[in-house]
Structure 1
Amino acid sequence: MLALSFYILADTFFIARGIGINGLTALNLAIPVYSLINGCGLMLGMGGAIKYAIYKSRNDTFRQNAVFTNSIYMAIIPVLIFVLCGIFLPGAIARLLGADEATWAMTRTYLRVILLFSPAFILSNILNAFVRNDGDPKLAMLATTTGCLSNVFFDFIFIFPLQMGILGAVLATGFAPVINMAILSAHFRKGKNQFHLISLKPDLKLTASTSMLGFPSLITELSSGIVIIVFNFVILNLQGNTGVAAYGVIANLSLVVSSIFTGIAQGMQPLTSRTHGSGDYTVVQKVRHYALTLMLLLSAIVYLFVFIFADPITAAFNSEHSRQLQQIATIGLKLYFVSTPFMDYNIIMAVFLASTERPVPAQIISLLRGLIIIIPMTILLSSLFGMTGVWLSCPASEGLVALIAMIILLTRTPHRKDEQTHAS
């Protein structure tokens, strides 16, 4: 997941260096669409993989293959929607996301290409989740990491020697999941895969259950895009394009940070789903404890790093040496990332609850942090405190959701006997 987040971070760095503030603004306006595409892939992949791991722990071969086949069927609908939007609506979507005359053309280009590559993003997420749950997490990690490195390489080649501008940046991002899938295909060539496509009609009941389990992953990813959209419009009114470019530095770094903890959650998922499926409640709780302990340690390290190096981090993306951008982003980094431990706790708990077949509380946590609390909190605090309120809205929202998540966990954690009964 950390490697996956570098798709956009590499774009941010090379666009900032090779194109400037307007390119950085265009990228930040387009990122929510990337988050939506990636979120759909994660929903289908994580939801299907949770079911797959549970059926695998019970040696139910038919249902294992049925889940994989149905997940591929489910991918067809969002893929068609995204591709059609890429062909016919990129300009309209760019306007809707707030692009002005200075940024519209670049935003439209980025959106068109990223939408046309949506089949690769969605399918690579599905395959990655199933391969990881099929006993080959090293290959899944290798595939994603290699895709990331290819993105960095092509970003440099396309933007600087070939002078392709924003088109080069988005092409580099689009090639990454294609390379990812090429590497994942080794899992099938080795003959170790325990899942494959079978002759099966689309199963609406299975679709509903896997979607519910994967929904928190969609909301986790989508919430980043929604927050970016809301922040973009608020900041445009407060500080204009320079403010949005400054927020672009923060938003992209936030994607990297959240991906670390999404990675912890996804690494936890196969273990909790498998032990939940076999009824071993003690191990389920032990895995959760390890995940949260690691989360607290890494959260402290991340915030200290951001706080100490806020100024040089901003300078790395400030190719035009704008004093306004430098000041806004440096202050923003220090305030915004106070949310780190709360955000990370919410991400891990949503996946933990989903992976143990408790989708409703998982969805509550995801919806609260992604939609219900963050939007009014941003509008309220920005109206009261300006840009300071914008930066503090994320810590305030995530902190409130974390408190609610703790209450949910304490009131809905089953006893060992209940868990074993549910599993059976």
Structure 2
Amino acid sequence: MKSKDILQEPLYKLFFRYVSFSALSMLGVSLYVLADTFFIANGVGQKGLAALNVVIPLFSLMSGTGLLLGMGGATLYSISQGKGKTDRGNQIFSFTIILGSIVGSLLTILGLLFREPFLKTLGATGEIYPLAKSYFTILVSFSSFFILNFILTSFVRNDGSPNIAMISMLVGSFLNIILDYIFIFPLQMGMAGAAWATITSPIIGLIILLTRKKTKKNSLAFISFKAHFSDVLEIASIGFPALVTEFSTGLVVFLFNRTILQLVGTIGVASYGILTNISFVGISLFTGIGQGIQPLASISFGARNSKRVFSVLLYGFILAMGLGIFYYIISFLFGDQIISFFNNEKSSELAEITKWGFQIYFVSFFFMGANIVSIAFFSAVAKVRQSFLLSLLRGILLIIPFVIILPHYFGMTGVWLVVPITEGIVFIITLYFLRRYFKNSQGEFL
């Protein structure tokens, strides 16, 4: 779909199409991560669940890097489309693909060279270490596929094909779930089987995206370009908040794992692993909403249509808030049933710790969705400072002191309180930034 069509079609139709396709895409990603959790919990046990949770920061790093380049490059692509500069947009696309290939290869090399110290830093010790090592080795070897899949998905979505982006993610995700079962149970491959199933998702996704048919409505094409360092900086500056948003999940897992190990040991890490993966589904939906509004906001911004820019944000903000409230209600009412799926050993201690975590931790969802969507919005309209600061606050600057202070005084309750308090503070700052931004009707063009 050309940019002029996006500017002329009723916004509610576009919003439903882009956001639903994008949210379903990210839901597919979260489901195959959740499938790993479920099958490992039931096929390997608590130690496997703890090992998986240790390796989650690697997955966050790969997906975060893919979103850094994908969201940054695709935003510039859409702004160029809104301005009618198609060639410039395709140069950005071509450069981003090459950059993603290089970064992915470097991550694989460094990950394999420094695998042992990296895993031990993340908390993989004792019986957990060989399980984490098996999963990590396979995952990091395919870093380029994960990164390129996120990049190409972002550009295809911005090129007017959110349906193709969704199909690629969902097909890969469902295949992963099927292979998870086959590799872990009938073939008894354990953690290695879960890892091999996981890497099939980006590979299948890339195949579907690369075979997309060229039509008159599509503008995306790989063309020759001249690489400039300024392009790297521009892509990175716009996409960096997406990296922080994604990678902060891994950082939080890392910090929490180390704190929880000191408080209650491996069973606490397993409990947090359940909570993390359940929450990842909701976070993925919020991220999907943010990715869905990005092309709509960017093209409207490029065309200097401030009224449409505001409407895009409003739709996304309300939807994220509503989903957050709904998610908390579900986790509160059906916490016992959800936990039982991942507690194959019927541990009453694991169930008790996790249920208490559900009731406190998921309060953060009242604010988290609005924060994530607002960060994506500021990036989409090239307001890097606001997006950057909000990302740092919710991902690093508030999390680190809170995870040090609160557990010291309140134990595991303090651990569960860290994220709700962080998201609540960021939400207040987010509202302040949005008010300032829209107070001046020309603010987005300064």
Give the TM interval when normalised to the shorter protein: over 0.9
The reply to whether residue 275 of structure 1 matches residue 290 of structure 2 is: no
Give the corresponding residue for 1:65: 90
For residue 50 of structure 1, the aligned residue among 75, 86, 107 is 75
Rounded to whole Å, the distance in 1 between the matches of 2:371 and 2:156 is 25
State the shift of 1:201 in Å: 2.8
State the shift of 1:415 in Å: 2.5
Matches within 5 A, 1:290-305: 290-305=315-330
Matches within 5 A, 1:55-134: 55-134=80-159
Matches within 5 A, 1:7-406: 7-188=32-213, 193-406=218-431
Rounded to whole Å, the distance in 2 between the matches of 1:31 and 1:22 is 14
More displaced stretch, 409-418 vs 20-29: 409-418
SS at 1:245's partner residue? helix
Rounded to whole Å, the distance in 2 between the matches of 1:241 and 1:298 is 32
**1:391 aligned partner, one-letter code:** W
State the shift of 1:192 in Å: 5.3
**1:125 aligned partner, one-letter code:** F
Rounded to whole Å, the distance in 2 between the matches of 1:46 and 1:4 is 17
State the shift of 1:7 in Å: 2.4
Give the corresponding residue for 2:7: none
SS at 2:288's partner residue? helix
Asked if structure 1 preserves the Cα contact closer than 8 Å seen for 2:300 and 2:309, the reply is: yes
Asked if structure 2 preserves the Cα contact closer than 8 Å seen for 1:90 and 1:109, the reply is: no
**1:286 aligned partner, one-letter code:** S
Asked if structure 1 preserves the Cα contact closer than 8 Å seen for 2:360 and 2:417, the reply is: yes
Rounded to whole Å, the distance in 2 between the matches of 1:175 and 1:351 is 28
State the shift of 1:110 in Å: 1.0
Q: Deviations over 1:148-206 (max 9, x none)?
A: 10110010010011110000001111010000111112324557541222222322111
Asked if structure 2 preserves the Cα contact closer than 8 Å seen for 1:303 and 1:340, the reply is: yes
State the shift of 1:139 in Å: 0.7
SS at 1:198's partner residue? coil
Asked if structure 2 preserves the Cα contact closer than 8 Å seen for 1:37 and 1:122, the reply is: yes
More displaced stretch, 182-191 vs 1-10: 182-191
Asked if structure 1 preserves the Cα contact closer than 8 Å seen for 2:37 and 2:49, the reply is: yes
Rounded to whole Å, the distance in 2 between the matches of 1:103 and 1:383 is 25
SS at 1:344's partner residue? helix
Q: Deviations over 1:71-100 (max 9, x none)?
A: 123213421222113432222221111111
Q: Which stretches of structure 1, 4 residues or longer, exceed 3 Å deviation after superposition?
A: 188-193
State the shift of 1:416 in Å: 2.6
Asked if structure 2 preserves the Cα contact closer than 8 Å seen for 1:11 and 1:155, the reply is: yes
State the shift of 1:411 in Å: 2.3
Asked if structure 2 preserves the Cα contact closer than 8 Å seen for 1:86 and 1:113, the reply is: no
Asked if structure 2 preserves the Cα contact closer than 8 Å seen for 1:57 and 1:274, the reply is: yes
State the shift of 1:255 in Å: 1.1
Asked if structure 2 preserves the Cα contact closer than 8 Å seen for 1:85 and 1:115, the reply is: no
State the shift of 1:12 in Å: 0.2
In structure 1, list runs of 5 or more residues that go unmatched.
none
**2:219 aligned partner, one-letter code:** Q
Q: CA RMSD in A?
A: 1.3
**1:79 aligned partner, one-letter code:** G
Asked if structure 2 preserves the Cα contact closer than 8 Å seen for 1:351 and 1:362, the reply is: yes
Rounded to whole Å, the distance in 2 between the matches of 1:296 and 1:8 is 24
**1:397 aligned partner, one-letter code:** T
Give the corresponding residue for 2:8: none
State the shift of 1:414 in Å: 5.5
State the shift of 1:379 in Å: 1.3
Rounded to whole Å, the distance in 2 between the matches of 1:303 and 1:310 is 10
* TM-score, normalised relative to structure 1: 0.97
The reply to whether residue 6 of structure 1 matches residue 31 of structure 2 is: yes
Rounded to whole Å, the distance in 2 between the matches of 1:407 and 1:293 is 17
Percent of aligned pairs sharing the same letter: 41
Asked if structure 2 preserves the Cα contact closer than 8 Å seen for 1:187 and 1:193, the reply is: no
Asked if structure 1 preserves the Cα contact closer than 8 Å seen for 2:64 and 2:242, the reply is: yes
Asked if structure 1 preserves the Cα contact closer than 8 Å seen for 2:82 and 2:301, the reply is: no
Asked if structure 1 preserves the Cα contact closer than 8 Å seen for 2:101 and 2:148, the reply is: no
Rounded to whole Å, the distance in 2 between the matches of 1:160 and 1:80 is 32
More displaced stretch, 105-114 vs 83-92: 83-92
More displaced stretch, 292-301 vs 366-375: 292-301
Asked if structure 1 preserves the Cα contact closer than 8 Å seen for 2:47 and 2:270, the reply is: yes
Asked if structure 2 preserves the Cα contact closer than 8 Å seen for 1:44 and 1:75, the reply is: yes
Asked if structure 2 preserves the Cα contact closer than 8 Å seen for 1:7 and 1:152, the reply is: yes
Asked if structure 1 preserves the Cα contact closer than 8 Å seen for 2:368 and 2:423, the reply is: yes
In structure 2, list runs of 5 or more residues that go unmatched.
1-25
Asked if structure 1 preserves the Cα contact closer than 8 Å seen for 2:105 and 2:143, the reply is: no
